[in-house]
Amino acid sequence: EAQVTQNPRYLITVTGKKLTVTCSQNMNHEYMSWYRQDPGLGLRQIYYSMNVEVTDKGDVPEGYKVSRKEKRNFPLILESPSPNQTSLYFCASSPHFQGNNSPLHFGNGTRLTVT
């Protein structure tokens, strides 16, 4: 089944403890992206990747890192999480970056709480 898989679904951690949220897609998509969803703010893009070894900042990259060593994986790294990073995170992928008719496929989300 074609899908975007994020892990974990839920995560509670403490300020300053490094964490990684994994994202994997099995559709051979070139483009992958991370969003955070907050009440009243909608979806905001954190980082995106157009292909292997190509990553770029989105609208809210501060406090996050990503890597794209292989096509299928796009982990989101929080080196020193803070409470303002408590949010619902979504990974998404699409076949191509430039194609206008390349819909995004979303994972089911990771709810992160930083205390």
Partner 1 sequence: GEDVEQSLFLSVREGDSSVINCTYTDSSSTYLYWYKQEPGAGLQLLTYIFSNMDMKQDQRLTVLLNKKDKHLSLRIADTQTGDSAIYFCAQKGDGGSQGNLIFGKGTKLSVKP
Neighbours of 84 (CB within 10 A): 10
Neighbours of 72 (CB within 10 A): 18
Place of tokens 């790294």: 77
- With respect to partner 1, which residue has the nearer C-beta, 46 or 114? 46
Cis? peptide before 8, omega within 30° of 0: yes
Residue numbers 53-72 binding partner 1 by CB under 8 A: 56, 58-59
Given the rule CB under 8 A, which of 12-20, 21-29, 61-69, 90-98 is the region that contacts partner 1? 90-98
Q: Which residues would be at the binding site for partner 1 (CB under 8 A)?
A: 4, 33, 40-43, 45, 48, 56, 58-59, 90, 92, 97-98, 100-101, 103-109
